[in-house]
Amino acid sequence: MRFTDLNDLIGFDENHVSDKVLKILLAEDCENNVLLVQLYLKKLPYSIDVAENGAKAFEKYKANSYDLILMDIEMPFTDGYQATTDIRKYEHDNNLKSTPIVAVTAHALSENKEKAYSVGCDYFMTKPVRKADLISVIKKFTE
């Protein structure tokens, strides 16, 4: 993920976030993007579990309970579309409540957005992602 500028790191009021610790699965293959998301969210009550591809994200999802999934779309082995499809099928087959999945991608074309929604993503964000926008989306789906 490419994110915007350092002003985002200080421009959001972190006091308006819930005290409940939220478990977030971050499916992202780029280490720099993982580090940036962790930096964005480090002072907030979020526990972040990282999967470097869609297959690992699906395995972690099955083994844990998450409040939200941030799903990169372009990843090696299994992409975010397939991982989301697998998660939604697993939820359906096991009568599980749907976990919010936010697609995060550098591809802003309408067909990418449509495909993300068609496989079961709840929201679509394009990179670069700003800190305030990321936190706002997390709050939208977890409060």
**Number of structural domains the chain divides into:** 1
Report if residue 2 sits inside a domain: no
Report if residue 8 sits inside a domain: no
Report if residue 136 sits inside a domain: yes
Could you tell me how many residues make up the chain? 143
Question: What is the three-class DSSP state of 100?
Answer: coil
Sole residue written with tokens 């099955």? 62
Q: Which residues pair with 24 in a beta bridge?
A: 48, 68
Per-residue pLDDT of the chain (143 residues), as tens digits, is 433 333 343 344 444 445 679 999 999 999 999 999 999 999 999 999 999 999 999 999 999 999 999 999 999 999 999 999 999 999 999 999 999 999 999 887 889 999 999 999 999 999 989 999 999 999 999 98
Report if residue 69 sits inside a domain: yes
Report if residue 12 sits inside a domain: no
Report if residue 68 sits inside a domain: yes
Query: Hey, how many other C-beta atoms are within 10 angstroms of the C-beta on 12?
Result: 19
Contact 24, 50 (CB under 8 A): no
Report if residue 45 sits inside a domain: yes
C-alpha torsion 34→35→36→37, nearest 10: 50
Report if residue 44 sits inside a domain: yes
CATH number of the domain that 128 lies in? 3.40.50.2300
Q: How much is the pTM? A: 0.86
Question: For residue 30, what are the domain limits?
Answer: 19-142
Tokens of 134: 């990321």
pLDDT at residue number 142: 94
pLDDT at residue number 108: 79
Sole residue written with tokens 């496989």? 119
DSSP letters of 38-68?
HHHHTTSSEEEEEESSHHHHHHHHHHS--SE
